[in-house]
Chains A and B, each alone.
Chain A
Amino acid sequence: MSESPQDIQKQVKTYLIIGGGLIVMTVVTVWLSFVDFGSHSNNMLIGMAVATFKSSLVAMFFMHLNHERPLIYKIMMFATIFVVVMFILFSLAHGDGLHMPGFESHAAAHS
């Protein structure tokens, strides 16, 4: 416990600001999901971008990942790589679609 009470007071203020920000962003996420951005994938992208930003705030400030020992970054790096690889494998499996009559030309046009 190297922090002085003043430091902690300052941190408490940060926590409250981040908490408030998260609540505001939750309201924004709900509102954005009812806005028509032309296609649903746009809504998807925007929604996920906000969620990723929110979760990085939690990780950075609440879980103190903004100042942590190198070992913890190493541990989390492996887990993250694993998840990213898994996401890629899943998308590959989906991208490798079945052949359907009448859809060959469509697939060729996109390749």
Chain B
Amino acid sequence: MEIPYTVSARPDTGLWNAKIGIWLFLASEVMLFGGLFSSYIFLRLGADYHWPVHVLNVPMGFINTLVLIASSVTVIMSLASLKMGKWGACKLYLLITILCACTFLVIKFFEYSDKFHHYGVVMKDGTVLEGHLKDSQYFIKFENVTSLTVKADGQYPEFDPAYVFQHCTTPNPRLKTPGGKEVSPDKAGLAVIEEEVRKAAEDKEEAAAKAAGRAPSLVPPRLPITLTPVTPLSFAVNSTALPITQPLFGYTATTLNFKDNTTVEGTLTDDKMSLHVDKVDVRSVPDIDHSVAWKYLGEKWKDAFIEHRKERTELFHKEHPEQDPMKEEEFLRRGLVMATHTRLPEAGHHEAEGVGELFESVKETFGGAVHDYPDVEIESKDIERWSNFLPKYNTFFAIYFTLTGLHGLHVLAGIIVLTYLLVVDTRKFKKDPEHMANRIETAGLFWHFVDLVWIFLFPLLYLL
């Protein structure tokens, strides 16, 4: 059956059908994004930390805004060209729109991956150090391992030597079983270990049954087994792994607890985090002059910070003589947060402010490693929590990824629809340009809406 009113207007509504359809869809979209925007407001008003402002890459967001505006113009130019009967121009404009949409997603991809590799370390005193990890990883190093206790109770997860020993840094590790046999942590070794576990369980059950005067159970409960390394072993566990692939439940100064129930005993030798610090944020520190940041960064950076704060305070008093700077979020962000590339103590003043900050971040984005970030080795006892800039870091990144992720899916949907129009429909509707024009108009309305959402997203997430 033919769909009616694809070109002419339906008498009762005064509109062709697809137009009502797309507007009903857009109405639902308004409500969908409205809900998310109100949760943004809710999260922001209720945030118990300093809401990040200008922390996303503004130039990249700016370029993406231009790209979307340009694509909004080209999609409507495509419609206008078709109405004037210019098929070639119509197709060209559609193609440019699709390319703009792809550019948007590529830029978004780079922005996301930048966040995946950027870390924030919240210290116990409220100091926040931001930066990149050395070698992009953070290792917990454990040496002098004297025993491995395997909870071989037959429950899931079962002991798998490969699981634990993939983190062992000693070549060819050898283990001694309680029965005195020497094994390697491989399949053959596991069979020997399993055999001993079974035998130990049966022996114990037999003794218990004899003492109680009953018949022994056929499936006696299995017991933990302790393996002793022949030579002391070393382990290094990557702590930056995703939570789901993170092999440890946790660790202490003397034990590593693997998720397969193996407990490794030894000595913790290193769980310091190596960080190239690009930003120091002391807004939440009660005693700023004794922030733990200066313990790591040293007096030089502390002096630089104090001067930075002094300058900002003087400027603030000059501009707003009536106001208390410590009550102004704007001042706190500029006065108590210091980007370490803006002040190199050795190089003297090198200040980038306001829009000038943008040029710094552009240089950084395009690989101009102009910065000499200070390196620090943070002790784990000073760390409250740390993470890369993912939804788990704070509610800002949670709503950032939710909103831009959903918007990005809309861009992807736009690419699919516009590509369909360009590849399939332009061939099919050569004889019926009016129907084609309506199709482009419908897709265009969706595309303008995607642009409209971004017009709000860009200032809310990147600028304000």
Q: Known contacts being A15-B80, A47-B464, A71-B14, is A26 close to B66, with CB within 8 Å?
A: yes
Please tell me if A101 contacts chain B, counting CB pairs below 8 Å: no
Give chain A interface residues in 38-80, CB to chain B under 8 Å.
38-40, 43-44, 47-48, 50-51, 54-55, 58-59, 62-63, 69-72, 75-76, 78-80
Contact A19 B69 (CB under 8 A): yes
Contact B73 A16 (CB under 8 A): yes
Q: Report the minimal beta-carbon distance from A7 to chain B, rounded to whole angstroms.
A: 9
**Residue in chain A with minimal CB distance to B7:** A1
Main SS of the interface on chain B? helix
Interface residue total, chain A, C-beta cutoff 8 A: 54
Q: Count contacts between A and B, CB distance < 8 Å.
A: 155
Task: Digitize B46-68: 1 where CB-to-A-CB distance is under 8 Å, 0 elsewhere.
Answer: 10000001100010001001100
Contact A90 B42 (CB under 8 A): yes
Contacts of B41 in A (CB 8 A): 87, 90-91, 94
Contact A69 B54 (CB under 8 A): no
Stretch at the interface among B195-203, B416-424, B450-458: B450-458
Contacts of A36 in B (CB 8 A): 319, 330
Give chain B interface residues in 431-464, CB to chain A under 8 Å.
434, 437, 444-445, 448-449, 451-452, 455-456, 458-460, 463-464
**Residue in chain A with minimal CB distance to B333:** A40
- 8 closest Cβ contacts across the A-B interface? A83-B34, A33-B463, A79-B27, A19-B73, A79-B30, A34-B354, A90-B38, A62-B448
Query: Which positions in B face A, CB cutoff 8 Å?
Result: 13-15, 19-20, 23-24, 26-28, 30-31, 34-35, 37-39, 41-42, 45-46, 53-54, 58, 62, 65-66, 69-70, 72-73, 76-77, 80, 83-84, 319-320, 323, 328-330, 354-355, 357-358, 434, 437, 444-445, 448-449, 451-452, 455-456, 458-460, 463-464
